[in-house]
Amino acid sequence: MHGFEAHPAVRVSGSMVVPGDKSISHRALMLSGIAEGISDIDGFLASEDCLASLAAMRALGVRIERPSPTRILIHGVGLHGLRGAGRPLDMGNAGTAMRLFTGLLSAQAFDSQLIGDASLMKRPMERVAKPLREMGADVRTHHGTPPVDIGGARHLHGIDYQMPVASAQVKSAILLASLYGEGTTSVTAPGVSRDHSERMLKSCGVRVLSEGLRTTLYPPQCLIAQTLTVPGDFSSAAFFVVAGLLAGASEGLLIRNVGLNPTRTGLLDILRSMGGKIEVLNPRESGAEPLADLLVRHSSLKGVRVSQDLISLAIDELPVLFIAAACAEGETWVTGAEELRVKESDRIAAMSSGLTALSVAHEPLPDGMRIEGRGEGNAFSGGHVDSFGDHRIAMSFAIASLRAAAPITIKDVANVATSFPGFVSLAHSVGLAIRDTAW
């Protein structure tokens, strides 16, 4: 079994660029595939998750060229040009891809089936299937989980949907289906969620109105091809933001070309409230998305009670926040994050298991975690950690090695490639001492 062996390091420093944004890469493939004309996407994330989306679009009849690993040319087939794959579409470990493809395929003239790896086949899909059925789609799950079977040739109509939980994946699936529906569709969320789909739909010429927590889409006649540079993935940058705070050199760690979509950057607000020294440099835009460079310096962190308003804006970054919290002075409380229970793993349970193995005082909660930080010095004992096949758990505990008294070995890390290819080599380049190992 593939693992990491992470040794304590003195400091991190230098300049780095993280891979392209996974959420934007998924959406660029799908929307460009149903646009008119050729879209040129640079900075594409060549991770296993995104390559699963690319393979699915090719199976649906979209011609995609790859002049380089991170540049793709997508020959759009138009709104009604997709054709049946004739076989199940394998989403691998990509929950985003499965939920978004469910929305896109629910409006097509052919039947489809979506499957995934063992982890994805356990993840909840009814939260997407339910509103799509309300639109007239034929979407069936297996006791709430994949495989997802989608019947074709259904006439969809617009709905006014109140989401019970703020979820960009559910919202995006509905918006993709509504491109084909009769009449407008509105989605209202109980809190803020990512808006990558709305931004990219607008850049493709679709009329989308966002008013507070309500999003309304007016079905288009066609989508326009796009030229786009995908910014660096903030969720990937988050590991190195925390690394810089825990062990940054005096000159700081510079992370360049990071996407700073305001629906993604709750972690920056949380870390700053803890005393984190993070500067935003050279702010600019790429297409419809904001990006900038981040300069991070070593900081003495303080424990906080994380505001509920920031939870949905930092949900994927909470595992590495728990690492920062263990190195802060005083207690940190995170509540309202029950969504962590249904990610690639039960991330509350997985992080609790690892923190216990590394002698960190904490209390897992039904919807979060209470962590007793140790302040400056070594916060972790070193030891053996199981990532439970979850890429974010594995990378979070790799960052913990910066403040560990002894090496940390991390089990079952193969899925790091699903979101962050090249993580180990990039970590090495700024001073972390991580190596691949057989468990």
Active site residues: 316
Enter the tokens of residue 94: 């990509």
Beta strands 160-162 and 185-188 are parallel
**Alpha carbons 185 and 157: distance in angstroms, whole number:** 8
Identity at 282, one-letter amino acid code: N
Write the CB contacts of 186 (distance below 8 Å, at least 6 apart in sequence): 158, 159, 160, 161, 214, 215, 216, 217
End-to-end CA gap in the chain: 5
Write the CB contacts of 326 (distance below 8 Å, at least 6 apart in sequence): 355, 360, 362, 371, 373, 374, 379, 380, 400, 403
Neighbours of 149 (CB within 10 A): 16
Q: Compute the residue count for the chain.
A: 439
At 284, phi and psi to the nearest 5? -160, -175
**Alpha carbons 391 and 319: distance in angstroms, whole number:** 10
